[in-house]
Amino acid sequence: MSFREDYIFWRLASFLIMEQDYRLAAMSENRRELWLENPAKKGAQVVRLLRCELDWSNWMERDLQLTAVNGEKIRKRFMRRSLDVVSVYVSKYPPVDDYEHLLKAPYTLPQASKTKITPILVVQGHEEEAFHQLNALFQKGARVWNFRDVYEESEVQSLEQVVLASAVQKEEKERNLLEYGTPFFTYLFIAVQVVVFLLMELNGGSTNPYTLIQFGAKYNPLILEGEWWRFFTPIFLHIGFLHLLMNTMALYYLGITVEKIFGRWRFLWIYLFAGFLGSVSSFVFTSNLSAGASGAIFGCLGALLFFGFKNRNLFFRTMGMNIIVVVLINLIFGFTVPGIDNSGHIGGLIGGFLAAGVSYFPKKHNWSLQSAFFLFAFLLTVFLLWIGFHGDQLHGTQISFIMLFK
């Protein structure tokens, strides 16, 4: 008995998972249907492999309809404007009746028109044509696919085990990227800002400008007199209970995520540098009294954007679109709502991105990239401080207008 088609099926799976960086998203119980994802692949973000014996074209058309429905669900999960799905059928023979019309153009459903299905038939005697289509989708150069006429079952099982082991290893590697560290500093910072808030309430109130200055809010005239620590202390101050509540919730969710990915000490560096650069940006571009952890929290968003910059597939498959939407909404909110120190937000966002580039990831190094990020972060900091201390902008002395920032 020949297991040629079974071998081809798993060889294609091996090619996609091990060479084209696809992730195994789903597998049928009999292991004859695989759904693979790679959002970065243009023209084939999703590949569905099916080992079957085709009989009639109407069965294939119904299967394409179901594939389109499932593809539309995936498109919505990816939050993509459109999705390209490649459905590969591995069969010994093609359907016995007319089926060519199903292959002439991408298949779509009226109710799922944003999801396009490209069917590819890998059948005996027409493998070369199918592999040519696959080559055009997945790589530039031509690939030679040579298969014997007969394969033993043990060969198929061996290849299947290798492919599935590789898929599990890839999943484990991704899990380690997302869950390297155990949060500690996130909880510490939350506790600190709550305690500081209570102390402020007991000593004049957190909305009292003089209390804010006493506890270390960003106040340009005193910074110009040498109180440089006001670039850091505003990170832990909040103006009113609602401000504290919103920033505490944001720090809880974003801080835990960043600390898990980068580890404790990298997170400490990212959070403090982002908060510092947010304060410096506010010092340069606004003259109002301001305080809050939002700059450092925006730094967490910046760090996650750096994670996406280096791990695009995993980023967009997990948190990517949510993070981008949160950043855009908050920036738009900051530009349109008065009383928001958007310069602190933007400075924190850039600071978090740069700090993540400097520290890189646990147990990994890219010295050239890290050096470039360090140099840029250093020069940007020096430049902003020079402008802040020597520029001609107005450093107002008024304290009547308070800004929520960082």
Residues 6+ apart with CB under 8 A from 345: 278, 294, 295, 298, 330, 331, 334, 405, 406
Phi and psi angles of residue 102, each rounded to the nearest 5 degrees, phi first: -75, -15
d(CA 84, CA 157): 30
Query: What is residue 43's DSSP assignment?
Result: T
d(CA 281, CA 168): 45
The helix or strand, by DSSP H or E, that contains position 51, with its residue range, turns out to be: strand 46-51
Q: What angle do CA 27, 257, 299 make, to 5 degrees?
A: 135
Rg (CA), the chain: 28
Q: Is the CB of residue 326 less than 8 Å from the CB of residue 377?
A: no
Q: Which residues are catalytic?
A: 294, 345
d(CA 262, CA 352): 12
Residue with tokens 């960086």: 21
Listed in sequence order, the DSSP H helices in 147-240 are: 153-178, 185-202, 209-215, 220-224
Quick one: tokens of 224? 């110009």
Q: What angle do CA 300, 303, 305 make, to 5 degrees?
A: 115
The candidate with the shortest Cα–Cα distance to 294, out of 325, 226, 329, 248, is 248
d(CA 325, CA 322): 5
The helix or strand, by DSSP H or E, that contains position 37, with its residue range, turns out to be: strand 33-37
